[in-house]
A and B are shown apart, each in its own frame.
Chain A
Amino acid sequence: MEKSELKVNEKDIVVPGEVLAQGMSYLPSEGTYRKGEDILASRLGLVRIDGKVVKIIPLSGKYLPKKMDVIIGRVTDINFSGWNVETNSAYPAMLSMKDATDDFIRRGADLTRYFDVGDYIVTKIYNVTSQNLIDLTMKGPGLRKIDGGRIVFVSPTKVPRIIGKQGSMVSMIKKATNCNIIVGQNGIVWIKGTNPEDEIDTVDTITKIEQESHMSGLTEAIKKFLESKGRTVVVEEQMQGGNDEL
């Protein structure tokens, strides 16, 4: 076999069709595909090389449903066997009755007592079929109907930045603003605070993260931003060598 070689460096910005690596000893991952013996980019984004695996962190784009993702969705319709949910992705999602509750539901019962049209729910994707139909479940810790608060939409590609390493970013904001925050992997964020000022500061902070997610020292910048709003910030211990860039 020919010698394998990388054509790009880590964190390079690549465009679809660009050759990332040649040879079979590199493996294509998210955002890439193999053509012949080459690995090509299928999305616009930053290259990430993890050993032999080449993947792309997209800079923008719609949410692509992934198994086991916890997302926030909006109930759009009720049908005879469950609920249709809008998930901010291109594909339809279904929450079936048996995945929604352990209760016995009589035939023809009023399903709106569980979830009504327009309700937001924290839910988990338990399967994405080959046709990209999304199956949801409410069975799991923290999965529930959302009560009060407000919804903010962010770019799904920035969600890892908002959450931070092991949730460090979101817990920093939570503590600083006294707000309850749930970040869905699909880019829908739920915020509930005790007063409007707290919620507005939280939204501003999240917007700031979204805008400056590519900058280095993001945690520090966000800490300063929160402090400039008169909030006390406690930065949690980070892992050694922790890098919140990618």
Chain B
Amino acid sequence: MNNEKQNHIINYLKKDLRFDGRKREDYRKIEVETGIFKTAEGSARVKIGDTEVLAGVKFEVGKPYPDTPEEGTLMVNSELIPMSSPKFESGPPSPESIELSRVVDRGIRESKAIDYKKMCIRPGELVYSLVVDIVPVNAAGNLFDAAALAVWLAIKDAKFPKLEGDKLKYKEPTKQKLPILTEPVSITVYKIANYYLVDPTPDEEEVMDARLTVALTEDGTICALQKGGEEPLSKAEIESMIGLASKKAKELRKYLR
């Protein structure tokens, strides 16, 4: 049946169509919303079609890593809760969940989008650390792009809480936002047979041959890549996938406002 489903999807792709009537390079309707949680310093909700992802940012203070004594830290975690998809099970983090948070983390970290040096309180002793959590409410395909967008919007939304002594007063937020240098956008391009597509549905994710997540900064610099799927990709294929990703990244940027 899977093979049958794949052939059926390929028949659609041949005519530049998808199961829901979209074209290969079309995204579903995207909705974004920020500041949705009272208890987090920054938060965002992103809907791409039926997919809905929440992201929250918490500030903490702690010791910096020994190799970067003057820099704040970033931590991204995700939990693929069973409520969001029949494919997710409860229990220890699945490889999918780890991959999702690592890819989102890398996209932001490697773009050097946050000025970590400005998150330092006392070099080598005390720095701010950002803890970002990703929770899908409904996983109906394309979690990578939705999560990356939600996390970035949540980071942009985040406001430092007041620092008193060496403790954070979470109930007293300041107006100070995170020092942001550039805005990364992450696009995942999927390959099924000889066709490239973006924003897959769960059906398409199930039958894909390969996928490539591309994170790009504002000036179009590629800052992170992640390849997934069983099939290998040639150099030419990677180049055209990156080409498509940069094209779509420009479109997605308008949701960053």
Contacts and interface: CB of A to CB of B under 8 A. Distances in A.
Contacts of B11: 196
B67 interface: no
Contact of B8 (A116, A119, A148): A148
B17 A119 contact: no
Among A116, A148, A200, A204, the most chain B Cβ lie within 10 Å of the Cβ of: A200
B235 interface: no
Contact of A200 (B4, B5, B8, B17): B17
A150 B19 contact: yes
B90 interface: no
A220 interface: no
Given A196-B17, A197-B15, A118 B1 contact: yes
B234 interface: no
Contacts of B5: 150
B12 interface: yes
Interface string A197-235: 100100110000000000000000000000000000000
B22 to A, nearest CB: 10
A166 interface: no
B1 A196 contact: no
Interface residues of A, number: 15
B15 A120 contact: no
A148 B4 contact: yes
Contacts of A196: 11-12, 15, 17
B1 A116 contact: yes
B2 interface: yes
B165 interface: no
B92 interface: no
Contacts of A149: 8
A240 interface: no
Contact of B17 (A116, A118, A120, A197): A197
B21 A120 contact: no
Contact of B1 (A120, A197, A203): A120
Contacts of B21: 200, 203-204
A149 to B, nearest CB: 7
Interface string B205-242: 00000000000000000000000000000000000000
A195 interface: yes
A120 B15 CA distance: 25
A139 to B, nearest CB: 23
B207 to A, nearest CB: 12
Nearest to B15: A196
B66 to A, nearest CB: 51
Nearest to A192: B8
B19 A118 contact: no
A171 B21 CA distance: 22
Interface string B100-138: 000000000000000000000000000000000000000
Max chain A C-beta neighbours (<10 A), residue from B1, B5, B19: B1
Nearest to A204: B21
A106 to B, nearest CB: 25
A46 B12 CA distance: 40
Given A195-B15, A196-B15, A200-B17, A118 B2 contact: yes
A150 to B, nearest CB: 6
B192 to A, nearest CB: 14
A120 B1 CA distance: 8
Those 10 A-B pairs whose CB atoms lie nearest each other, nearest first = A118-B1, A200-B21, A196-B12, A196-B17, A119-B1, A196-B15, A150-B8, A118-B2, A148-B4, A196-B11
14 contacts: A74-B1, A116-B1, A147-B4, A148-B4, A148-B8, A149-B8, A150-B8, A195-B15, A196-B11, A196-B15, A197-B17, A200-B17, A200-B20, A203-B21
